Chain A
């Protein structure tokens, strides 16, 4: 596609439920990043993929959070037993890979846990 696509754009879920957030990166981009952003804050790093493997998952806050990228393209961020504190905008970005490349961001998924 023309850009990074994230679905859904908004998700409201009840506390304790499971959610999946999807990211379609730009075709051919090997690097994929997940961030979450709370109001008035900068994007907080969660996990980074190079191809199919997680190159760095040190930002995942706890074991309720998990992300996959099985074919090196689409990625899914999974959150189990959601808590109200998980409410935020979840951003996905992709890049060609390599350290001197810019990242292209999707419009994010706004997750609200009630």
Chain B
């Protein structure tokens, strides 16, 4: 299936450190989005970056997009224990009217 792939699968850091997660995808995209999921069930949208953008910021979040490498990264600065969650990238492909397609996620643990 047309899924993005996150890397690493799991990441454990100390509070205050930065966390970087990467996402690779397969075909041309219209945009790429990052979502967060706590141990409950709902996913929360974090940030959307369009294919003609290279970097976006939102609070402590920084997302980059490299369309030549078909990859994106999510950086969380000055991490907090409350950032512990799973993070997913999701892509909207260019081929017609397509839905969001999710990767398998990165499980982030921030240790206080």
Contact = CB atoms under 8 A, between A and B. Distances in A.
Interface string B46-69: 001010000000000000000000
Contacts of B90: 103
Contact of B102 (A35, A50, A56): A35
Interface stretch (A19-27, A41-49, A66-74, A75-83): A41-49
Interface residues on B, range: 20 to 34
A100 B97 contact: no
A91 B99 contact: no
Interface stretch (B12-20, B37-45, B74-82): B37-45
Interface of A: 31, 33, 35, 37, 41-45, 48, 50, 55-56, 59, 89, 91, 93, 99-100, 102-108, 110
